[in-house]
């Protein structure tokens, strides 16, 4: 019997087969298309894609205010108990009380913004405390009289704390003191356009499939999942940029919105590769509490979540009958507030981000027509395929940045 040599035609799933072809054979395929989903966006889910409703301009603005500060640390108090009158002099305006003037930057504050003659202040450090009366102020100095109120002058260090106790007002006052009205801080962010597209083949849409038949719907779902990842990452890492034609290929100006990283500046801690500890989290929560806020959520990646889980190790108890092992922490409670611990794939492995979710909003530009995500079919170039575009324009608010905290450059060694 003759033998026909050479490789046979194969149209099946095994392109290297030489003894048969599966050209007309149906493969055993599950009707469900499995797909990995590394696209969780817990921050975006928590805040919501439409929690900010009043965006009516590419530059979105809002106002913030704080109570006038009552405590500072002096860099210019002489280490002496004599004379009874001392002048505090410093070039670093940020060392004064949080003041009433300026544009929101501590560098614009002056001593005159902080206290006025007649204020009673407490000077205190590890060496002791005393009371003094403010007698005069200039833009860079505060004069104190330490001989009154029955307080004994103390030899302070140059990092002495100064706290306003009250005011010494004369009887029969006919003129009001200096105004201490705070100046509201104008903050802003820009909108950013997020865009993606996908192509749907006419042939693929027409053929019968073992998995879901609606290819366009599945591709749209994948695009929207990945768009959510872009939104979440921008909410964390984004840096605002005024719309400008910064890329040569752009046909018009393109702006970028700032994320949480770009707004949080006060409670930021660089740990230089140290291992995350409970104390670090407590310090961050305390800093927010001392500013008058309480944080609500802590976001971290897998490495720092495993480290947080080890905080419970000293308190574990098991019986001989226990056959289930595992520890996880889903909340961290302190005197300064409780935070829900959230595992987020989009967070850096060396960082913990603590936020007050009520102070963060996210939403589309929507003055005359909502710029929320829309699906649009591009002009048809061929009946063989369809091109679909998804785009939307969004921005976010990060209010009261002292409500939030960032601990970064942590050890990434798994516990």
Beta bridge partners of 407: 269, 352
Is the confidence at residue 176, as pLDDT, over 70? no
Percent of the chain residues past pLDDT 70, beyond the cut? 73
Is the confidence at residue 324, as pLDDT, over 60? yes
Residues 6+ apart with CB under 8 A from 268: 405, 406, 408
Residue 270 confidence class, pLDDT cut points 50, 70, 90: very high
CA 121 to chain centre: 36
User: Of 117-126, 178-187, 226-235, which range is least confident?
Assistant: 178-187
Which tens digits make up the pLDDT trace of 64-76?
Answer: 887 766 766 665 5
pLDDT greater at residue 60 or residue 173: 60
Question: What is the average per-residue pLDDT within 262-279?
Answer: 96
Average pLDDT for the chain: 80
DSSP assignment of 68-134 equals PP-EEE-S---S-S-SSEEEEE-S-GGGS---S-SSS-GGG--GGGT--TTEEEEEEETTEEEEEEE
Beta bridge partners of 300: 343, 352
- Residue pair 68/114 in contact by the 8 Å Cβ criterion: no
- Between CA 211 and CA 409 the distance in angstroms is 45
- Residue pair 142/114 in contact by the 8 Å Cβ criterion: yes
- Between CA 156 and CA 146 the distance in angstroms is 13
Is the confidence at residue 25, as pLDDT, over 50? yes
User: Of 178-187, 358-367, 383-392, which range is least confident?
Assistant: 178-187
- Between CA 130 and CA 113 the distance in angstroms is 23
Which tens digits make up the pLDDT trace of 83-96?
Answer: 455 666 543 333 34
CA 238 to chain centre: 10
- Residue pair 161/124 in contact by the 8 Å Cβ criterion: yes
Question: What is the average per-residue pLDDT within 109-127?
Answer: 74
pLDDT greater at residue 204 or residue 108: 204
Question: What is the average per-residue pLDDT within 302-328?
Answer: 85
């Amino acid at each position: 019997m003759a033998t026909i040599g050479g490789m046979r035609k194969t149209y099946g799933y095994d392109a290297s087969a030489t003894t048969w072809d599966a050209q007309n054979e149906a493969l055993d395929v599950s009707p469900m298309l499995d797909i990995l989903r590394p696209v969780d966006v817990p921050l975006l889910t928590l805040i919501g894609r439409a929690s900010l409703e009043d965006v009516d301009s590419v530059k979105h603005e809002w106002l913030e205010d704080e109570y006038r500060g009552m405590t500072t640390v002096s860099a210019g108090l002489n280490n002496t108990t004599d004379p009874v009158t001392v002048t505090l002099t410093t070039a670093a305006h940020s060392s004064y009380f949080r003041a009433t003037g300026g544009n929101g930057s501590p560098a614009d504050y002056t001593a005159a913004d902080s206290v006025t003659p007649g204020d009673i202040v407490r000077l205190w450090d590890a060496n002791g405390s005393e009371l003094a009366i403010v007698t005069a102020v200039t833009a860079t100095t505060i004069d104190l009289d330490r001989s009154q109120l029955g307080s004994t002058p103390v030899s302070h260090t140059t990092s002495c704390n100064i706290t306003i106790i009250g005011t010494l007002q004369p009887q029969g006052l006919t003129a009001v003191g200096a105004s201490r009205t705070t100046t509201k801080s104008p903050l802003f962010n820009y909108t950013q356009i997020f865009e993606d597209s996908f192509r749907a083949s006419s042939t693929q849409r027409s053929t019968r499939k073992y998995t879901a038949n609606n290819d366009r719907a599945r591709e749209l779902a994948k695009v929207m999942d990945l768009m959510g990842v872009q939104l979440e990452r921008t909410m964390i890492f984004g840096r605002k940029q005024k719309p400008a034609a910064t890329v040569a290929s752009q046909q018009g100006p393109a702006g970028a919105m700032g994320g949480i990283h770009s707004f949080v500046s006060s409670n930021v801690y660089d740990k230089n590769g140290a291992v995350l500890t409970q104390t670090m989290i407590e310090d961050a929560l305390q800093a927010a509490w001392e500013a008058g806020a309480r944080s609500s959520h802590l976001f971290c990646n897998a490495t720092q979540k495993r480290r947080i889980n080890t905080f419970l190790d000293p308190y574990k108890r098991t019986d001989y009958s226990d056959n289930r092992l595992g520890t996880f922490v889903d909340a961290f409670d302190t005197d300064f507030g409780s935070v829900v611990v959230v595992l987020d794939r989009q967070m850096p492995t060396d960082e913990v981000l603590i936020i007050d979710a009520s102070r963060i909003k996210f939403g589309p530009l929507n003055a005359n027509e909502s710029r929320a995500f829309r699906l649009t079919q591009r002009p048809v170039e061929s009946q063989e395929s369809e091109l679909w575009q998804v785009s939307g324009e969004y921005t976010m608010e990060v209010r009261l940045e002292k409500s939030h905290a960032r601990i970064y450059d942590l050890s990434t060694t798994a516990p």
